[in-house]
Amino acid sequence: MRVPLSWLREYVDLPAGVTGRELAAKLIRAGLEVETVEQLGADLKGPLVVGEVLSIEELTGFKKPIRHCFVNVGDANGTGEPQEIVCGARNFAVGDKVVVVLPGAVLPGPFPIAARQTYGHTSAGMICSARELGMGDDHDGIIVLPSHYEPGTDAIELLELVDEVLDIAVTPDRGYCLSMRGVAREAAAAYGLPLADPALLDVPPANSYGYLVKVADPAGCDRFVARTVVGIDPAAQSPIWLQRRLQKMHVRPISLTVDITNYVMLEVGQPLHAYDKSRVDGPIQVRRAEAGEVLTTLDGQKRELSAEDLLICDNSGPIGLAGVMGGASTEILDPVVDQETGAVVGSTEVIIEAAHFDPVAIARAAKRHKLPSEASKRFERGVDPEASRAAAQRAVDLLVLIAGGTAEAGVTDIAAPHPVRTITIAADLPDRIAGLEYGRETVARRLQEVGCSVAGGDLLEVTPPTWRPDLTDPNDLAEEVIRLEGYDNVPARMPTVPPGQGLTPVQRMHRRVGVALAGAGYVEVHNYPFLGEAAFDGLGLAADDVRRRTVKLVNPLNDEEPALRTTLLPGLLAAVRRNIGRGNTDLALFETGLVFLPEAEQPVAPRPAVDRRPSDEEIAALNAALPHQPRRVAVALTGERLPSGWWGKGAPASWADAVEAARTVARAAGVELTVRQGQYLPWHPGRCAELLVAGTDRVVGHAGELHPRVVKALHLPERTVVAEIDLDLLTADGELQAQGPTVSSYPVATQDVALIVDAAVPAAEVEAALREGAGELLEAIRLFDVFTGEQVGEGKKSLAYALRFRATDRTLTADEASAAREAAVAAALASTGAVLRGA
């Protein structure tokens, strides 16, 4: 809602010095979102005056037609002599009154004006267009003024070029502020001044000889006021003040009748519609649409109507989409000049509609037809039904006053009975909500300021004004009091919070995982969860891969990515590519976040009533409709994991780094991980670790090198490695509680063994066998070398282990240590076929 300060002052007698910015600050504190304060004409400087065109000489021989004019500007140029001006526009004639800017003036831009030589003549100033004066963008032509203005009159004042305009973003609860009337009410309250309500008009009572209107759907239309005006002069034009106000509201002046309906809507907040009475066939009816009905709206669109649409009809059928947009067939005709007679032809008699429609019906219709209009915007948010008679009257008055029309005596006013809404509110409710004592007097006074009528003592009986349909609950009334008294004046205090439990174990675990990965050199990224089939194709997933079963969006941002992720990898790998594209080639990234896995059954989520707590069954049904949304963590590495430098060679990121990242996550989560050979796309079939919670067969994720085909398809560096783990699965059993070990102070006995096994035997199995066989004297075991080559034979590998033995109660003898070692080797032989190297 735009609010010119000059117009607002008509209803509130603001102190002369109040600026737009000061008013904005006050209104903001009262809850109106003033987004900008525009300074119209701030850089405009005169002289800018009315001129009368005395002569026009058409200059020829130039690329475009040029006019050499003499203009009478009265005494404004100091000499009284005609002003010589060269002009490129052609929409004016000798005798026309125009707006002339004289040398020394500055037009918006800023664009200083000086006398200059052009096209062989002197041009001492300019004849101005609306655009040059900053009056609106849609007029390139010269402004031609009504003929009664005197040459030399100051045009800055005449055209109200200097003004301040507030632009307010009106929240849905404040429909009344989509009018000058509503904003003026707020301004009056903010300054403690009286309001001159533009809707307080003398209106003749309804009678039986008004235009015949039948309302078949009183629920959809609970008020319909119709007035008729005849004898309108089609040649009458909107006066400058009216055009200027509309322009400042960013409403384009069209024709006098239409301009008046728009003006009254902006002033009072009541959307009006004007029908050309001569084009309406019989009585007006308000009803819902029937199947197959069609309406061509003012914008020329032919619209198929839905049975829910509320219509204005006459004997011919629909003539308007109620509260949204009128129809073309009864539209007010644009005045045109008849070429033969020279007379202006247009609509001369009109029906003014000022109705009140059901907000929901209008909102749905506007949404259904994708037709948000100035009218529907207001009806959706609530229009004052009691303002309709005044609004119609205002339009009639203006048509009589400036369009030369005659008001007919008939007044149609069809009103469905309105129950009076009364809210009972404890007088101290605002006090209890704010935590501050206002007192009954203040509460009652503030409620009256917003238009409520207030009765009662400790319990107030409050009747909200008809323009505030948003005031329905005691809390709504309390808010009015607290906001008008000022949020700034509510003293801050702190609630007494009972002792808390701190973070939950799972919350602490999530933090540890992030800290551990960052500590291990990983950088966290957050990716959008949107993806499409292409992401799965890139990962090489089979057509029936379960990860292709996704939760889909109805209205995705991008049609190529309509689904929610079932794996973190596509987003993470896209981040890898983005980084590489920017020259960051050595990367270790991680992300934690939800994935979205559809359940086998997907019931529709219920919509329980909201006037009570939903039942436990209803809550269960709400949750059952949700997809499974586990938290995952994923890493991706490429380039050098350890950089080369003056200290020596570095190391490229390898499958082992990905597996180690998984172990890092598990350690941080307090869970022991078992690793075994896996085969799972998008991983390399020979370089994929399957990750399980130790002692269970619960697979929680995978780690290793990407399949070379995937690397190629996704344009990633060769040997890019990734891991992805389901944190919820990983920690499903809770975390292990560490037990304090017995730390022996007896000396350690170290023994090395080198074992030869088939290349296919996993090292993890050999180590497990060694541990098992070594028994409890084994303190630690460490694989320190893996060797393949001729010496160990084809298809074989040598694994070298350092075993540390120690007892808690004695110094081990060499024989004891050797016996334990031999037992370990024997166990490895038995379960993996390992033989001692060199044996």
| Total Cβ atoms within 10 A of residue 217 | 18
Q: Please identify, among the stretches 90-98, 287-295, 344-352, 583-591, the one whose residues bind other proteins according to the rule CB under 8 A.
A: 583-591
- 17 scored as a contact of other proteins (CB under 8 A): no
Q: Is 492 exposed, middle or buried (CB count within 10 Å of its CB: 0-12, 13-18, 19+)?
A: exposed
Q: Please identify, among the stretches 257-265, 498-506, 679-687, 775-783, the one whose residues bind other proteins according to the rule CB under 8 A.
A: 498-506
**What is 211-247 written as a DSSP string?**
--EEES-TTTEEEEEEEEEE---TT----HHHHHHHH
Least distance from C-beta 673 to other proteins, angstroms? 20
Nearer to other proteins (CB atom), residue 227 or residue 719: 719
Binding residues among 434-493 for other proteins as defined by CB under 8 A = 434-436, 473-476, 478-479, 482-483, 487-488, 490-493
Least distance from C-beta 210 to other proteins, angstroms? 33
Q: Are 143 and 104 in contact (CB under 8 A)?
A: no
Distance CA 618, CA 564 (A): 26
Least distance from C-beta 580 to other proteins, angstroms? 11
Distance CA 624, CA 549 (A): 18
Residues 558, 560, 566: CA angle, nearest 5 degrees: 100
Nearer to other proteins (CB atom), residue 214 or residue 552: 552
Q: Where are the beta strands (DSSP E) in 315-447?
A: 317-321, 325-326, 336-337, 344-345, 350-357, 406-415, 423-426
Q: Please identify, among the stretches 59-67, 176-184, 260-268, 608-616, the one whose residues bind other proteins according to the rule CB under 8 A.
A: 608-616
Count of positions on this chain that bind other proteins (CB under 8 A): 110
- 559 scored as a contact of other proteins (CB under 8 A): no
Binding residues among 30-49 for other proteins as defined by CB under 8 A = 30-31, 33, 37
Least distance from C-beta 35 to other proteins, angstroms? 8
Least distance from C-beta 518 to other proteins, angstroms? 4
Least distance from C-beta 688 to other proteins, angstroms? 24
- 626 scored as a contact of other proteins (CB under 8 A): yes
* Per-residue contact string for residues 370-409; x = within reach of other proteins by CB under 8 A: ----------xx----------------------------
Reduced to 3 states, what is the DSSP secondary structure of residue 12?
Answer: strand
Nearer to other proteins (CB atom), residue 253 or residue 382: 382
Q: Which listed residue (395, 398, 539, 551) binds other proteins by CB under 8 A?
A: 551
- 608 scored as a contact of other proteins (CB under 8 A): yes
Which of 505, 498, 558, 507 is CA-nearest to residue 533?
558
Nearer to other proteins (CB atom), residue 331 or residue 449: 449
Distance CA 720, CA 186 (A): 63
Nearer to other proteins (CB atom), residue 118 or residue 507: 507
Which of 317, 417, 14 is CA-nearest to residue 194?
14
Q: Which listed residue (194, 282, 283, 643) binds other proteins by CB under 8 A?
A: 643
Q: Please identify, among the stretches 74-82, 194-202, 497-505, 677-685, the one whose residues bind other proteins according to the rule CB under 8 A.
A: 497-505
Distance CA 80, CA 59 (A): 25
Q: Which listed residue (171, 207, 424, 453) binds other proteins by CB under 8 A?
A: 171
Nearer to other proteins (CB atom), residue 719 or residue 806: 719
Binding residues among 332-371 for other proteins as defined by CB under 8 A = 359-360, 363-364, 367
Q: Which listed residue (125, 327, 593, 682) binds other proteins by CB under 8 A?
A: 593
- 810 scored as a contact of other proteins (CB under 8 A): no
- 66 scored as a contact of other proteins (CB under 8 A): no
Reduced to 3 states, what is the DSSP secondary structure of residue 361?
Answer: helix
Nearer to other proteins (CB atom), residue 392 or residue 587: 587
- 116 scored as a contact of other proteins (CB under 8 A): no
Least distance from C-beta 231 to other proteins, angstroms? 41
Nearer to other proteins (CB atom), residue 457 or residue 645: 645
Q: Please identify, among the stretches 56-64, 99-107, 138-146, 617-625, the one whose residues bind other proteins according to the rule CB under 8 A.
A: 617-625
Distance CA 518, CA 524 (A): 7
Q: Which listed residue (16, 93, 420, 604) binds other proteins by CB under 8 A?
A: 604
- Expressed in angstroms, the distance from the first to the final Cα of the chain is 94
- 554 scored as a contact of other proteins (CB under 8 A): yes
Q: Which listed residue (63, 64, 148, 582) binds other proteins by CB under 8 A?
A: 582
Q: Which listed residue (18, 56, 344, 523) binds other proteins by CB under 8 A?
A: 523
- 495 scored as a contact of other proteins (CB under 8 A): yes
Distance CA 596, CA 76 (A): 75
Binding residues among 86-105 for other proteins as defined by CB under 8 A = none
Instruction: Name the helix (H) or strand (E) containing 728.
Output: helix 727-730
Q: Which listed residue (280, 589, 665, 706) binds other proteins by CB under 8 A?
A: 589
- 317 scored as a contact of other proteins (CB under 8 A): no
Kindly list the distances between the CA atom of residue 417 and the CA atoms of 219, 221, 593, 756, 800, in Å, as whole numbers in the listed order.
10, 11, 56, 98, 96
Please give the structure tokens belonging to residue 350.
Answer: 């009109």
Q: Please identify, among the stretches 24-32, 244-252, 266-274, 818-826, the one whose residues bind other proteins according to the rule CB under 8 A.
A: 24-32
- 503 scored as a contact of other proteins (CB under 8 A): yes
Least distance from C-beta 764 to other proteins, angstroms? 26
Q: Is 763 exposed, middle or buried (CB count within 10 Å of its CB: 0-12, 13-18, 19+)?
A: middle
Sequence-distant (6+) residues with CB within 8 A of 807 are 744, 746, 777, 816
Nearer to other proteins (CB atom), residue 558 or residue 811: 558
**What is 135-155 written as a DSSP string?**
S-SS--SBPEE-TTSPTT-BH
**What is 394-423 written as a DSSP string?**
HHHHHHHHHH--EEEEEEEEEE---PPP-E
Residue 131 φ/ψ, nearest 5 degrees: -65, -40
Residues pairing with 787 in the sheet: 798
Nearer to other proteins (CB atom), residue 33 or residue 299: 33
| Total Cβ atoms within 10 A of residue 445 | 14
Tokens 């839905």 locate to 306
Instruction: Name the helix (H) or strand (E) containing 673.
Output: strand 673-677
| Total Cβ atoms within 10 A of residue 79 | 9
- 432 scored as a contact of other proteins (CB under 8 A): yes
- 500 scored as a contact of other proteins (CB under 8 A): yes
Please give the structure tokens belonging to residue 674.
Answer: 């078992």
Nearer to other proteins (CB atom), residue 231 or residue 614: 614
Cα Rg, the chain, nearest whole Å: 41
Least distance from C-beta 540 to other proteins, angstroms? 23
- 152 scored as a contact of other proteins (CB under 8 A): no
Nearer to other proteins (CB atom), residue 429 or residue 755: 429
Least distance from C-beta 188 to other proteins, angstroms? 17
